[in-house]
Amino acid sequence: MILYINGDGHSAAAMAATDFVAAEDDVDLWYMGRAPHPVNLRRSYGAYIASVLKARLLVEADANNTNQVVIDQTKKFIENNPVNEQILVIVGMPVYDKLQFDEFGAYFKQRDIKHILYPVSDYIEWLTLKHHTPNEFGYFDELAHKDWAGNLIKPLTRII
């Protein structure tokens, strides 16, 4: 199984364990470009879920992603995926847009792809209600990612 994660910096675990948003912000990892910083990624909600599900993790999330970039990247991955393996998709949409959500959800249903779509505003609200405080840049730490992973596991077990 492949667990595919896309979204903005929250889904990329920006600053979850380091002061870096993306790998390129770290002088030692500049060559990795906008990929999530590997130390942050190991502490992301995606990493925790992948561990529980024993799935391979692929994260294309980036702090600079817009809804359209997320949609286009995700569709490209699904349509060009050469591996005949079950794909589970989790997408944190940077901005809630009902039409985009509905159309994107229909895309997954037509292809029988298990997925969870959520607006980042729901993620932030849920973590805040659970007494997690974002840093000065609006990102959450490793403990918040663990809690969000736990929040997503229950609905995931119903769809896989």
Query: What's the pTM?
Result: 0.94
pLDDT for the residue numbered 85: 85
pLDDT for the residue numbered 159: 80
Instruction: Specify the 3-state DSSP secondary structure of 93.
Output: strand
Ramachandran category for residue 95: left, alpha or beta (phi over 0 → left; psi -120 to 50 → alpha): beta
Residues in the chain with pLDDT values less than 50: none
> Selecting from 1.20.1740, 3.40.50, 1.10.10, 3.30.70, what CATH number does the domain 2-9+44-159 have?
3.40.50
DSSP 35-49: SPPHHHHTTSHHHHH
Q: How many residues does the chain have?
A: 160
H and E: helices and strands count for the chain: 6, 4
pLDDT for the residue numbered 92: 96
* Per-residue tokens: 136: 């000065």
Domain ranges of the chain: 2-9+44-159
pLDDT for the residue numbered 155: 82
pLDDT for the residue numbered 139: 96
